[in-house]
Amino acid sequence: MSDEYISIPENVYFICGSGKTTAANELARRFGCYVYHTDENRAKHFRNANPLIHTALCRDVPDYWALDPNEALQWEYDIVREMTPMIIADLTELASQHKIVVCEGDIDVDLIAPLTTRIVYISNHGKGYDFFDRPEHRHMLDGIHNRTDLTEEEKVRRIQNAYKIVGGGNATDNLQEAKSRQKPREVTQLGVKEIIRNDNTTVWETADKIAQYFRFDIWYHGSPIELTELWTGSTITRWRELAEAFSHKPDWLSYDKVGGIIRHNGRTDGFLHVVDEPIIEGIDTYKHPNTTMDDGVEWLTKRPLKLRKICKTKNNREF
């Protein structure tokens, strides 16, 4: 696929940055979307590379961790740039088979940012972390430790160089931590939406922010009591503020337009929940047959649904 003819389907979304795999997997669990992991498809792209076109993918590097860090980073950049059209080809095929496709991992943001706004960059503003401490990365250092052609001193130097290549990663590295708080160029230069997380941010909260930006169908339920499961025949809505109003147990409620100001006489504090599992409109839910609201605002559930509390709601209205 030539860069000149690349287009991105409307149902394909991209997650880049720190914690992208975890966030993408949470979105898959909650919304039932298909997740494309670029790391898991690298080997296929290397096999399919054309040496006349993909010089980086076809380059023979016997010992990656022995490279100068700058050279290693440039090579990785070139690999990602050459793989991106292949990734887009995969995503285009998957988009015809799935309602939502989420791509997480390394991709040439310079290429895709002008073609879609359905992309986020997760910035980690927490403490630094060890790249090689992740389960899927530990094998990299294990490979160095297990080599028989290196002395122990050479292994130490390889490992030190490996940390330089991946950009540090020590929790005590103040420079690395400060660098992580800088706005990434994907955000400042390419206009990508930034999602900020820190050590206190849960995976759910990060996924909530991403889902809201992507405008996924987030279903809400408000109640004066905290719930973990919703009964069959209960009311849910995509309108968050309406669910919050319902959590105050009002006797009457009105609004001028959907998304506008809501007036009600609810006096109790309550809880705002989200549906915490994939649901299919028309199969798991149906429009409220006796609603007094606009079409599509109120829905009823056809089966029990898992709920997750977002927050407690405080009723600050005065009557």
pLDDT for the residue 178: 52
**14 and 88: one domain?**
yes
Section 71-81 average pLDDT: 95
121: domain CATH number? 3.40.50
115 and 254 both lie in a single domain: no
Question: Is 59 a member of any domain?
Answer: yes
- The predicted pLDDT at position 171 comes to 38
Which pLDDT score is estimated for 179?
Answer: 55
Question: Is a pLDDT exceeding 90 seen at residue 132?
Answer: no
Residues 104, 35 share a domain: yes
User: What is the percent of the chain with per-residue pLDDT over 90, rounded to a whole number?
Assistant: 82
Q: What is the pLDDT of residues 77-96, one digit of tens each?
A: 999 999 999 999 999 999 99
Whether residue 270 sits in one domain with residue 242? yes
pLDDT given for residue 182 in this prediction: 79
pLDDT, position 139 = 87
pLDDT digits (tens, 9 = 90+) for 198-238: 999 999 999 999 999 999 999 999 999 999 999 999 999 99
Structure confidence at residue 177 (pLDDT): 53
Q: Are residues 264 and 192 in the same domain?
A: no
Pick the last residue of a domain from 196, 214, 232: 214
Average pLDDT over residues 44-67: 94
- Could you tell me if 74 and 196 lie in one domain? yes
Confidence of residue 293 (pLDDT cuts 50, 70, 90): very high
Clarify whether residues 118 and 227 are in a common domain.
Answer: no
What SS3 string covers the chain?
Answer: CCHHHCCCCCCEEEEEECCHHHHHHHHHHHHCCEEEECHHHHHHHHHHCCCCCCCCCCCCCCCHHHCCHHHHHHHHHHHHHHHHHHHHHHHHHHHCCCCCEEEECCCCHHHHCCCCCCEEEEEECCCCCCHHHCCCCHHHHHHHHCCCCCCHHHHHHHHHHHHHHCCCCCCCCHHHHHHHCCCCHHHHCCCCEEEEECCCCCHHHHHHHHHHHHCCCCCEEEECCCCCEECCCCEEECCHHHHHHHCCCCCCEEECCCCCCEEECCCCCEEEEEECCCCCECCCEEECCCCCCCCCCCEEECCCEEEEEEEEECCCCCC
pLDDT value of position 131: 80
pTM of this prediction exceeds 0.85: no
Range(s) of the domain holding residue 90: 3-125+181-214
Single out the residue in 195, 214, 233 at which a domain terminates.
Answer: 214
